[in-house]
Structure 1
Amino acid sequence: MANPFKNAQFVASFGTVEQLPPSTEPEVSFVGRSNVGKSSLINALLGRKALAKVSGKPGKTQTINFFEASGIHFVDLPGYGFAHRSKQERQRWADLISAYFESERSHNLVISLIDIRLDPQTLDARMIDYLKSAKLPFIVALTKADKLKSRTKQQASLTKLSNAFGLDPLACVVTSAEKKQGIDTLARYIERACFE
């Protein structure tokens, strides 16, 4: 499938929710742990190698970053759970994420990223519970699938994680930004959420 999202561009970064522009287009936001691969997945979706800045250091995204393509805003939220930052800084990111979700915006779809290789993590469980309780439309992207050696192992992890988080396995997409696995499926979810 050809990339459905055209003319992708960086819009702006915002350090507080008060700075955010009015919500005039459908919004798809990306949330997950600091080293889960958000920037890589956004780049794979938008067909651009370095639009969202990929860093070897977790915790690089400290602002809310807006990208635009095909009349959709793609919103990269700060990663959570990075231990090598001060408690204050981690709290600021958590406040920024919750303030974004609680503001009056066009929350068409939230993509919650979880590393497929890891056992269920408490912080991911909290995020899933938060998205459920806030009644936000969301799906889960299980990232870094190329690091597992076989589709059988990927499927076993999908089953384990979806059971642990109380999710319908069909609401979880196995992805690899590296191999472009699952990118078409995510794109279809996004198009449906924004335009149907």
Structure 2
Amino acid sequence: MTITSAEFVLGVSSLAIGKDGVTAQLPNQTLPEVIFLGRSNVGKSSLLNRVCGKKDLSQTSSSPSKHREVHYYLINRQMYFVDLPGYGYAKVPEQVRASWSSLIEAYLELHRNVVLAVQIVDARQVPTELDLMITGWLEYYHVPYIVVMTKADKIARSKLAMYVDQTRAAFARFRYIRELIPFSSVTGQGRQELLDAIARHVLGSPSTSK
């Protein structure tokens, strides 16, 4: 898969359900959606920028609490990349953190045309219970998913396999995890593997979680 165009469409801060079953704020429902989710400060914006080949498509910030919306990006005029708010940032009020979690779960429940979830974790850290809770939601709502390990460039090449095994073991309780991709927004490692995985799902390959 090659990305030839990527543009920000809109940000949505709530998912109020209307008479037609969805909020009028949401964009064209006929296009497939790939959702990206992960803990705050895990490198989600940098990953999106690298994958799409546009440096400032998704704004990075040293303050993870600034991303409080669902962001839609139109890719190749064929699909949406949907950036969900980062979860688990400790330096915001509990009420705000709860609202982010509610927004994420509401989106999964709404489901729309989600063909794949890309769950992002830090390659250097063991996935947290919050990460695993999100994975549980993905399986509960029957959303196909892959796990991407960002910041892989910060790990010595000789030790990367050990960290991959560590992350895979943390997700061992889940039935449908199939792909785990080390990724670096700095070097581009894993970019093509991620694009290929997205293409398989967007082009209609059978889901392992259905």
What is the Cα deviation at residue 170 of structure 1? 4.8
Distance change in 2, residues 1:33/1:104 (3 Å): closer
Matches within 5 A, 1:117-136: 117-136=124-143
Matches within 5 A, 1:1-196: 4-17=2-15, 18=23, 19-70=25-76, 71-150=78-157, 152-166=158-172, 170-196=178-204
Check conservation: 1:159, 1:169, Cα contact below 8 A: no
Secondary structure, counterpart of 2:102 in structure 1 = helix
Distance change in 2, residues 1:169/1:157 (3 Å): farther
For 2:163, give the aligned amino acid: S
What is the Cα deviation at residue 60 of structure 1? 2.5
For residues 22-81 of structure 1, the C-alpha deviation after alignment (integer angstroms, 9 at most, x for no partner) is 422110000000011111111111110010001122233110000011111000000000
Check conservation: 2:105, 2:137, Cα contact below 8 A: no
Check conservation: 1:109, 1:137, Cα contact below 8 A: yes
Distance 1:114 1:129 in 2: 15
Structure 1: give runs of 5+ residues left out of the alignment: none
Residue 18 of structure 2: aligned partner:
none
Which stretch shifts more, 116-125 or 74-83?
116-125
For 2:121, give the aligned amino acid: I
Considering only aligned residues, what root-mean-square deviation do their CA atoms show, in Å? 1.5
Distance 2:170 2:194 in 1: 22
Distance 2:40 2:100 in 1: 11
Secondary structure, counterpart of 2:35 in structure 1 = strand
Residue 207 of structure 2: aligned partner:
none
Q: How many residues align?
A: 193
Secondary structure, counterpart of 1:59 in structure 2 = helix
Distance 1:60 1:186 in 2: 26
Question: So what's the TM-score if we normalise by structure 1?
Answer: 0.93
Distance change in 2, residues 1:104/1:33 (3 Å): closer
For 1:88, give the aligned amino acid: Q
Distance 1:59 1:174 in 2: 25
Which stretch shifts more, 79-88 or 120-129?
120-129
Check conservation: 2:146, 2:177, Cα contact below 8 A: no
Question: So what's the TM-score if we normalise by structure 2?
Answer: 0.87
Distance 2:111 2:183 in 1: 30
